[in-house]
């Protein structure tokens, strides 16, 4: 399985000739043509994680590819979607998807908290969306760790990585950072990853990691 990082919060996961796309949002350039789209995951309703044009482009080429998301996103889409909740396990082609969490991390008391589902792909790759939801009882081979957000304090992000103890990790949700800020936040996440004996990778848009 290969994980390709795109700008900000978007991931592309490839296995045995098929592809899973996670959170194709507004900060991400148009995705390359995909020959065999097994499915799409949208963790929550905020536009940096999904926009209609990204979903439309994927569905025009692959109309039968399932889309797994929250109720709010499903209600906003003009294409079919499957609503998932924490604790559910589904199949998307050859991929096994297990969902965790349930709620977006708080940005501010004045801003409503929305639903959010973290996803564990093939019991190996974990992406929490906009949350610190820990996949309790699971050994995580690779963690896509949020590096920056309006709701994120880097110390709390470090505690999240310490709680998950992944064997490998890389930063995501990083579109708000300058180059200097990105380097600083990566160094903090690297430290947290290494405390559990793991390895942290500096992945830029277009870089990949093979499990």
pLDDT of residue 154: 98
Structure letter (DSSP) for residue 123: T
CA dist 36 → 13, 30, 65, 146, 195 (Å): 12, 17, 9, 28, 38
Using an 8 Å Cβ cutoff, are 1 and 125 in contact?
yes
b or e along 143-171 (b: 16 or more beta carbons within 10 Å of the residue's beta carbon)?
Answer: bbbbbbbebbebeebbebbeebbbbbbbb
- Hey, what are 85's tokens? 């909740």
Query: Which distant-in-sequence residues (6+ apart) come within 8 Å of 167 by Cβ?
Result: 139, 140, 141, 142, 197, 198, 199
pLDDT of residue 9: 97
Query: Which distant-in-sequence residues (6+ apart) come within 8 Å of 172 by Cβ?
Result: 5, 8, 9, 11, 127, 144, 145, 146, 147
Query: Where are the chain's structural domains?
Result: 2-198
Q: At what angle do helices 179-195 and 154-164 cross, to 10 degrees?
A: 30
Q: How far apart are CA 211 and CA 187, in angstroms?
A: 22
pLDDT of residue 61: 93
Report, in angstroms and rounded to the nearest whole number, the Rg of the chain calculated over CA atoms: 16
What CATH number labels 2-198?
Answer: 3.60.15.10
Using an 8 Å Cβ cutoff, are 104 and 131 in contact?
yes
Please give the chain's pLDDT, 211 residues, in tens: 999 999 999 999 999 999 999 999 999 999 999 999 999 999 999 999 999 999 999 999 999 999 999 999 999 998 889 999 999 999 999 999 999 999 999 999 999 999 999 999 999 999 999 999 999 999 999 999 999 999 999 999 999 999 999 999 999 999 999 999 999 999 999 999 999 999 999 999 999 999 9
């Amino acid at each position: 399985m290969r994980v390709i990082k795109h700008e900000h919060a978007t991931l592309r996961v490839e296995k045995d000739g098929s592809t899973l796309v996670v959170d194709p949002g507004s900060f991400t350039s148009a995705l390359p043509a995909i020959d065999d789209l097994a499915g799409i995951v949208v963790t929550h309703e905020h536009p940096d994680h999904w926009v209609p044009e990204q979903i439309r482009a994927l569905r025009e080429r692959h109309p039968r590819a399932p889309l797994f998301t929250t109720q709010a996103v499903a209600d906003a889409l003009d294409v079919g979607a499957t609503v998932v909740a924490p604790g559910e396990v589904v199949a998307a082609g050859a991929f096994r998807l297990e969902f965790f969490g349930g709620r977006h991390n708080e940005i501010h008391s004045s801003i409503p908290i929305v639903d959010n589902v973290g996803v564990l792909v093939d019991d190996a790759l974990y992406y929490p969306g906009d949350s610190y939801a820990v996949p309790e009882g699971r050994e995580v081979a690779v963690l896509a760790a949020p590096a920056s957000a309006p709701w994120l304090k880097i110390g709390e992000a470090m505690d999240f990585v310490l709680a998950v103890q992944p064997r490998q990790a890389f930063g995501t949700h990083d579109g708000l950072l300058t180059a200097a800020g990105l380097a600083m936040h990566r160094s903090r996440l690297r430290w947290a990853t290494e405390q559990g004996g793991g390895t942290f990778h500096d992945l830029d848009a277009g870089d990949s990691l093979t499990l």
